[in-house]
Structure 1
Amino acid sequence: MQAIVITPVKDALEATLETIQAISDANGVYDYWVFNDYSTDQTKKALETASSSKDFKLINLEEVTSNPSPNYKTVLQLAQKTALEAGLPLIIVESDVKVNQDTLENLVNFANDNPKVGLVGAITHDAEGKVNFPYLKFKQLKTKDPTKTTRSLSFCCTLISINFLQEYDFTDLDNSKDWYDTHISQKSIALGFENYILPDLPVWHRPHASRPWKQLKYKNPVLYYFRKWFLGKDKI
């Protein structure tokens, strides 16, 4: 076993099943967990069917917590516990990301070769092979070499090292937030670890396909920011 791999899911069934298939086809041996965060009955049933043929463990969060979606803190806590018990790094692959056959293996190899790594992320591309959100900030990199960064890494396709997992307890994550990639990126550096982006390790990313309601940010930004600021949604 090389790593614990997790995919949080909130509907977006077609994209999710493509993510699961790509991980199932990936080089290496992984303990794969899919966390269903209060999706529709249709999505739940499809995931239950897929779990019997794609060799992943399905956790329906409605059986774990009564807290409404999003439940990223709960997912991260459960995943950290599993990774620590196994003594393995944790790889998060969002359900709007499609990995290549060598993606996971290369993340693990890089972490194994660089013991000071806290987080290491595969760079996101669109269908045409161009760098896209959330890594547009790395678009101007003039190198394909692994690049150490103090900028936040997204959890689109990111490995969190076992050394960092042993140093920082995810039960300390802020209950008032919904997403934790920025905080965990910063915490990694604060604890003396190094974060890297791998420009030569692209994954196909369909922005916000894992959480379709976040498309409001582009389709109706006024409504999106009203929800964010006045209703306390999408807290980073």
Structure 2
Amino acid sequence: QLLGNQDHIKAEIEKLKQTYDSQQQKLEEKMIAMGKELQEAKTAIRDTRHKLAEQSAVLLASQSQLQEVEAENSRLQLRLKELNEEYRSRLAQYVRDVADYMDSKPSNRAGPGKAPAVHAAMKRFVDSMLEEIRASYRAREEQLAGAARGYRKRMKSLVKKHENLLIAYSMQREQIRSLGSSDMDSGPAELHFAVTDPELLTNTTQELNRLRESKAKLEMQLRDLQK
């Protein structure tokens, strides 16, 4: 009877040992799998951070390009103002030249027979001066108009590219936030990089900026609650 009990105890111990070994193996396999997942998560975080940094750099470069084109537009506006002032100045000079020309022609002293010739000469002088002013103004106006068209086309392309970059940047931020790590910096809010110049905004971009502003406020409130 005693030997039978010992055999039974040995069998139970062996059974427990096998169960323990099996559970230990499963635990080790689970730990290895978790370690692998953790390493993959760290790699994903590192890659996402790298992509976010790249997106931030590209957005900053895009902002710089937009500012350069805006400055170019300001120069065009200034040049147009200068052209208008120059046109007025030349017209004023033209009036003075006509007055000087009239003063230099003694039409009254030359007798009535000379008057038609004097008037014809004056008309040619006036027509020539006006045509010169018009031609000069047209040439410069066309030059500025061409530059303005190029500016608008370039600006439209840059704004579209910038909006696409903002969307990609937003997706990267959301990917980082979805990882749930509180110590990870997801970068500045999209509003920080948004185009705000009223002349460049369409109805769609204005609405997007309002949504970005609301989102930025909600993110700040969420951070305050998590402190």
TM range (shorter): under 0.3
The structure with the largest strand share of the pair is 1
Give the TM-score, by structure 2 length.
Answer: 0.17
Give the TM-score, by structure 1 length.
Answer: 0.17
